[in-house]
Amino acid sequence: MGNEQIPAEYLLEKLSEAKNHFERALDCKHTEFDDLYPYMIEHPQFFWYKRYVAWSELLTVVKFFTELSVPWESQFTVQQVDYIKKRVMSSKVLDCWFENTDSKEHVG
CB 77 within 8 A of CB 70: no
Which residue stretches of the chain are H helix?
8-26, 32-36, 46-67, 78-86, 91-96
Instruction: Tell me the pLDDT tens digit for each residue of 3-56.
Output: 578 888 999 999 999 999 999 999 888 888 777 777 777 776 777 888 999 999
Task: Confirm whether 85 is domain-assigned.
Answer: yes
Task: Confirm whether 71 is domain-assigned.
Answer: yes
Instruction: Tell me the pLDDT tens digit for each residue of 73-89.
Output: 999 999 999 999 999 98
The overall pTM is greater than 0.75: yes
Q: Return the closest-CA partner of residue 73 out of 15, 14, 26.
A: 15
Q: Which domain holds residue 33?
A: 8-96
Distance, CA of 14 to CA of 48 (rounded, Å): 23
State the pLDDT at residue 84: 97
Distance, CA of 70 to CA of 22 (rounded, Å): 21
Q: Return the closest-CA partner of residue 25 out of 2, 58, 1, 3.
A: 58
Task: Confirm whether 57 is domain-assigned.
Answer: yes
State the pLDDT at residue 20: 96
Higher pLDDT, 101 or 34: 34
What pLDDT band is residue 104 in, cutting at 50, 70 and 90? very low
Task: Confirm whether 81 is domain-assigned.
Answer: yes
Domain count across the chain: 1
